[in-house]
Chain A
Amino acid sequence: MADAKSAGANSGPKTYTTDFIKADTDRAVFLGNALLDDMMTALIALGSETWAVRRRAKITEMLFEKNGKISREMVEQYMPTPEEERQLTTERDDFIRNIYGHFARNGEDVVALNSLDPKSKK
């Protein structure tokens, strides 16, 4: 099988896996330079980790407000109320838009550096 990779047989517990055909997306370069692609992936990963820290902080605050005391276990196990969940989701979506919204400007309005006409703005 072309490009197949075995993830199955070993001496440990039975995995019931078999060979598969590996995707080539790890080698995808869309931005003209592999480093740029990697930086974009890193930027999104960084955003996800930053959000995790912020969400943990928010949950810690929620717990502190409710209980006046907190422990690591309480934070880890806390289940936000539906209202708190809504607040967190709104904040998350704002967080994403504030950071990545720069990449979502209206594509139709892209203006090149060499096309500046100060009067018509075209």
Chain B
Amino acid sequence: MTMFNRRTLFASTVAAVGAATEALTARSAQAALPKDVEPRGSTGRLERLPRLDLESVHDFITGFRKFANGDMSRSANARMTAIIKAEGLDPDADLPIQKILELTGKDPVIANSARTWLSAQQINWRTLHNEFHANSDLYMAEMEAADKAGPGTLELNPDLKPPAYTTHEIHIQPGGYVGDPFAGHIYLYGTNNFYTGRNNQDELHIEYASAVPVPKTGKVTRVLEQGTSCGQLAVALKQRFPNAEVWGIDVGGPMVRFAHMRAADIGVEVHFAQRLAEDSKFPDNHFDIVTNNIMFHEVSQDGARAILKESMRVLRPGGVYFPMDFYTGGPPPKAAYGKFRSWWDSRWNGEPWRLDYAALDFAGAMRDAGFDVNENGPPARPGTKRNILGTKPA
């Protein structure tokens, strides 16, 4: 594989998402951002981390995640099961989390499994945070120069007051989505190794974009992604619907700022704005498709209901609402270890709303907002067989 500066190499192409290879290499000759900081070039659409040693540390973290989620997790699961059985209890009997913690929370095998996972996550964020902040003048200047560049546009709103539920350090990312000027940079690389390298070229987001259903009329002129973060899905949506006006909104100013810079760098025209999903400022009946990806499990129940209401407002009659996230409304995990992992992720991996989301009757909330709901819509996320689908009644 050769190294290159991606903005100088590729001719203008907007690829259909179905043609994955083409989509991965789509670039625009117009995309020439004023200041480009990529000291080690790019592979496809991924700018390489700026130092070999940092890249190697993150390569290690990627491998360590696989190990921690595999061998170590199996070991902890076996240990938890053995402890609960030794107490004469059934580990599959839907024990209260308090009981599970009381019996197993101090076991060294289980505690160490949790510790090592958390330590790796902390190292992941810390090393990225340190890198971008150590070179903040450079990266800040790059973003400032990109703010007004195209293709696509960027709208920032320094007066926006984020709802409190959005201001947690989700995934324990330093500063969360709103509090660190390099939140987008940090999020992109941190989640890349979360995906164990399977999303370095936005492969998963391209899959998600390809799964989004089209309204029955076939008309797709405007598409909205809520909670766009780095804009990976919004870019993939634009590549799937090249004639549509695609918007990505997020509460985090640094997130949409990075998303815009990245999309412009790749050469895809997306409009990014720092706006709230529950107060998006778009006109009524404006979009043909509104979608989002793993957003709702990071939203409070009140926030979710407000977002659904707003989604209903901005979607045109017959338009499609396609929120991609975990299933809700079904029975929560009963087995002790599954229950523990869900709780642990919420408590210690900065997912404060995850359990609330799991408890929400999401289909019911969509119906309350006025959607026609199909709980067996086409699958989107890997390993799933269905995805909830809403339609605004015509």
Contacts and interface: CB of A to CB of B under 8 A. Distances in A.
Interface of A: 1, 4-8, 12-23, 25-26, 28, 30-32, 37, 40-41, 44-45, 47-49, 51-52, 55-56, 59, 75-82, 88-89, 92-93, 95-97, 100-101, 103-108, 110
A28 to B, nearest CB: 6
Given A16-B274, A44-B116, A49-B53, 19 more contacts: A1-B164, A14-B158, A17-B175, A17-B178, A20-B178, A21-B168, A32-B111, A37-B115, A44-B120, A51-B57, A51-B59, A52-B53, A56-B53, A75-B52, A76-B51, A97-B71, A103-B116, A107-B110, A110-B79
B75 A104 contact: yes
A101 B116 CA distance: 12
A110 B109 contact: yes
B74 A18 contact: no
Contacts of A59: 52
Contacts of B81: 108
Contacts of B52: 52, 55-56, 59, 75-76, 78
Interface string B108-122: 111111111011101
A12 B144 CA distance: 12
Contacts of B114: 30
A48 B140 CA distance: 28
B116 A107 contact: no
Contact of B77 (A21, A81, A82, A107): A107
B119 A92 contact: no
Interface string B72-115: 10111111111000000000000000000000001011111111
Interface string B180-219: 1101000000000000000000000000000000000000
Contact of A21 (B80, B122, B169, B181): B169
Nearest to B41: A77
A80 B1 CA distance: 7
Nearest to A101: B71
A21 B56 contact: no
Contacts of B113: 103
Q: Is the interface of B mostly helix, strand, loop or mixed?
A: helix
Contacts of B26: none
Interface stretch (B61-69, B314-322, B377-385): B61-69
Given A16-B253, A20-B175, A107 B348 contact: no
Q: Tell which of B43, B61, B64, B82 has the most Cβ of chain A within 10 Å.
A: B64
A16 B348 contact: no
A16 B156 contact: yes
B172 A31 contact: no
B348 to A, nearest CB: 6
Contacts of A96: 60, 63-64, 67
B123 interface: yes
Given A45-B123, A93-B63, A108-B79, A21 B167 contact: yes
Contact of B115 (A31, A51, A77): A31
B3 interface: yes
B333 interface: no
A79 B274 CA distance: 36
A28 B118 contact: yes
A41 B72 contact: no
Contacts of A26: 122
A40 B144 CA distance: 40
